[in-house]
């Protein structure tokens, strides 16, 4: 019922407020213009942010496509170049041109004598007029146990598809957001008219129609009882009180006139003038009060608008809960699916057994399938449990451990006993450059967690695509506390990744099972548990360095 009232007021507002010449400069119309202007700015800003993010994602996808091409054609091209089989190279290049957006490929032979680009062996396609990206990838062949560079592959990928996708995204967002903004503005304006404007119009019409012949009439507004204690109610009461007081003044005036008929014409005229002046002053006072209440209403509307903006900011906090649900959904879903398969297979075996139709092969298949599904369920549940433990570690309060004095160098040696073999298998050397004899009062278990997460992060991200590497951990004690650095000589991080490295659920390995919690856990442990601070510096192909300052805590 309330919804239909708003719709009726919506039609009334646009019929009265927008098309009436008397009310062309209405508050509602100005509110509509302001809402549309502010909303349009937010729409443009949102569109720019979305296009920027989509463009970065598209460029990242093209970079991955370069890597896929390099991995897919490295072997065949190395053999063809080694054998100087130009026909096979040209055939391979023609095949590359069939890949999406690949417009030009070139293969040349490395000139070992000059140490530069040698003779072009084959070339296919051409560079488009529009934008494009290209990448040159060396081609290696194994000779006597070593990788020898024998040539290079240059691939040019057109950005035309990316630009078309961005154009479609811009058009869709603008149309959708503008329609939504217009509808929301219209409904907000209708609600404002329903709650405020229509009552102001009624009050103005009532005041204009007031005369001495209808002083007994009172103003009644069509409102719900729940809203009877607001500013509109105060204004309504003020108008009715003014009319009642006016009636009393007139009655008093008439009585005075009857009682003082003998007073001279001049005195009677002066008395009437004074009465008229008092009436004008009373009306002016009430009008000033009404204007003040209207200004108060506008200020409250502005305050409400600010609260709505803050509520939009608070809604962004729900993103972390969605990240948790997304991470847990896959392993739990796989477990439920596996359990359902076991249930169905068990029902099928029971049915075959009850009908005396079961064969040995059926039972063998059942045991094999059940074993595989059980293993899959265990793996999925272990991953879910691991995720839950990682989520708990985001809150520093989960670490319940007593402080103690420990040797910092020996603390690192202890953890190397458990993770050293795995680093050795990956040909990663861990160098312990922590000064001997450094004692620190802190939480040694937290140091274990920090070391483990940093080393795992370096192995997973820092040395991707590399056969070997090194990690150096150094520390020295100064007056303000323990200064520690964790440095790897890996591939480093881009500026975009560096800015978000400590954000929860940010990962570049989502497809490979990464949760994006490791670095955030380290940040919380250092700042909240150890009362220190952490900084990171990195450049692409120049490794990464994490710097810590850990204070000495009171025993």
pLDDT digits (tens, 9 = 90+) for 326-375: 556 777 887 788 788 788 878 888 888 788 877 888 778 878 888 887 88
Specify whether the CB–CB gap between 484 and 411 falls below 8 A. no
Mode of pairing for the β-strands spanning 116-125 and 132-143: unpaired
Q: Which two tokens stand for residue 183?
A: 């509808």
Alpha helices in 219-264 (DSSP H): 231-259
Q: Is the dihedral angle over the CA atoms 197, 201, 202, 207 positive or is it negative?
A: positive
Dmax over CA atoms of the chain, in Å, equals 137
Burial 441-461 (b: 16+ CB within 10 A, else e): ebbbbbbebbbbbbbebbbbb
Which token pair is 229? 């204690």
pTM recorded for the entire structure: 0.33
SS3 content of the chain, % helix, strand, coil (to 5): 65, 15, 20
Query: pLDDT tens for residues 401-426?
Result: 678 899 999 888 877 766 776 788 88
Q: What is the pLDDT of residue 42?
A: 80
CB–CB of 491/407 below 8 Å? no
Residues 335 and 377: beta-carbon distance below 8 Å: yes
Which of the four pLDDT bands, split at 50, 70 and 90, describes residue 310? very low
Give the number of other Cβ atoms within 10 Å of residue 162's Cβ.
20
Classify the phi-psi angles of 341: left when phi > 0, otherwise alpha if psi is within -120 to 50, otherwise beta. alpha
CA separation for the pair 322, 328 (Å, rounded): 10
Q: For the domain made up of 401-550, give the CATH fold.
A: Heat Shock Protein 90 (3.30.565)
Higher pLDDT pick, 71 / 304 = 71
More confident residue, 182 or 417: 182
In this prediction, residues 212-240 reach a mean pLDDT of 71
**Which residues, including other chains, have CB under 8 Å from residue 203's CB and lie 6 or more apart?**
219, 235, 236, 239
**DSSP designation for 120:** E
- Residue 305's pLDDT band, with cuts at 50, 70 and 90, is very low
Q: What is the pLDDT of residue 531?
A: 93
Q: Are 89 and 107 in contact (CB under 8 A)?
A: yes
Nearest residue to 435 via CA among 418, 414, 411: 411
Q: Measured in whole angstroms, how far is the alpha carbon of residue 220 from the centre of its chain? A: 50
Give the pair of three-digit tokens for residue 152. Answer: 């290079």
* DSSP character string of 353-374: HHTT---HHHHHHHHHHHHHHH
The structure tokens listed for 238 are: 């003020």
CB-neighbour burial class of residue 140 (10 A; exposed 0-12, middle 13-18, buried 19+): middle
Q: Where in the chain are the domains? A: 2-48+169-315, 319-393, 401-550
CA distance 195 to 198: 7
Half-sphere exposure of 401 (CA within 13 A, CB side): 18
Mean pLDDT throughout 196-201?
76
Torsion of Cα atoms, 337 then 340 then 342 then 346, to 10°: -160
Which range has highest mean pLDDT (314-328, 349-363, 469-483)?
A: 469-483
Q: What SS3 state is found at 10? A: helix
pLDDT at 12: 55
Calculate mean pLDDT across residues 166-189. 83
- The runs of H, that is alpha helices, within 458-543 are 495-500, 518-524
Distance CA 399, CA 522 (A): 12
Top-ranked range on mean pLDDT: pick from 222-231, 437-446, 502-511 = 437-446
Closest to 195 (Cα-Cα) out of 6, 400, 397, 23: 6
């Amino acid at each position: 019922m309330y919804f239909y009232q708003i719709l009726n007021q919506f039609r009334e507002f646009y019929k009265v407020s927008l098309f009436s010449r008397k009310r062309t400069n209405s508050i509602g119309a100005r509110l509509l213009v302001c809402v549309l202007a502010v909303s349009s700015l937010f729409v443009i800003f949102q569109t720019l942010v979305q296009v920027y993010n989509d463009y970065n994602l598209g460029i990242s996808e093209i970079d991955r496509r370069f890597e896929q091409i390099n991995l897919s054609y490295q072997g065949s091209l190395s053999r063809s170049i080694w054998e100087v089989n130009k026909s096979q190279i040209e055939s391979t290049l023609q095949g590359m041109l069939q890949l999406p957006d690949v417009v030009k490929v070139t293969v040349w032979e490395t000139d070992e004598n000059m140490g530069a680009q040698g003779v072009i062996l084959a070339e296919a396609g051409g560079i488009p007029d529009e934008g494009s990206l290209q990448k040159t990838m060396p081609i290696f062949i194994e000779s006597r146990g070593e990788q020898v560079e024998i040539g290079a592959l240059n691939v040019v990928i057109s950005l035309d598809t990316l630009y078309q996708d961005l154009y479609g995204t811009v058009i869709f967002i603008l149309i959708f957001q503008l329609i939504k903004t217009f509808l929301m503005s219209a409904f907000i304006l209708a609600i404002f008219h329903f709650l405020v404007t229509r009552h102001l119009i009624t009050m103005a019409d009532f005041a204009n129609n007031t005369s001495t012949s209808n002083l007994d009439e009172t103003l009644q507004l069509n409102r719900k009882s729940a809203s009877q204690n607001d500013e509109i109610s105060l204004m309504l009461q003020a108008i009715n009180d003014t009319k009642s007081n006016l009636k009393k003044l007139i009655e008093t005036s008439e009585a005075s006139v009857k009682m003082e008929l003998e007073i001279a014409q001049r005195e009677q005229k002066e008395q009437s003038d004074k009465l008229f002046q008092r009436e004008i002053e009373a009306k002016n006072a009430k009008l000033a009060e009404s204007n003040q209440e209207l200004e108060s209403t506008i200020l409250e509307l502005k305050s409400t608008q600010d609260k709505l903006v803050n509520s939009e900011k608070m809604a962004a906090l729900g993103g972390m809960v969605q990240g948790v649900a997304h991470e847990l959904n896959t392993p739990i879903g796989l477990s439920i699916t596996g359990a359902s398969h076991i249930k169905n297979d068990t029902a099928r075996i029971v049915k075959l057994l009850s009908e005396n139709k079961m064969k040995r092969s059926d039972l063998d298949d059942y045991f094999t399938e059940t074993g595989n599904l059980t293993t899959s369920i265990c793996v999925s549940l272990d991953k879910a449990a691991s995720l839950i433990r990682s989520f708990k570690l985001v809150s520093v309060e989960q670490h319940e451990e007593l402080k103690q004095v420990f040797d910092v160098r020996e603390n690192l040696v202890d953890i190397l006993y458990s993770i050293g073999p795995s680093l050795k298998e990956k040909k990663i050397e861990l160098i312990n450059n922590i000064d001997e004899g450094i004692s620190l009062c802190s939480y040694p278990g937290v140091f274990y967690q920090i070391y483990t997460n940093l080393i795992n992060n370096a192995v997973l991200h820092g040395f991707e695509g590399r056969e070997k590497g090194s990690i150096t951990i150094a520390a020295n004690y100064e007056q303000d506390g323990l200064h520690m650095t964790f440095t790897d000589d890996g591939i480093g991080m881009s500026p975009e990744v560096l800015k978000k490295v400590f954000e929860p659920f940010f990962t570049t390995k989502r497809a490979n099972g990464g949760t994006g919690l490791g670095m955030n856990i380290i940040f919380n442990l250092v700042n909240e548990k150890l009362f220190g601070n952490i900084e990171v510096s990195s450049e692409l192909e120049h490794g990464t360095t994490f710097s810590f300052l850990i204070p000495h805590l009171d025993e």
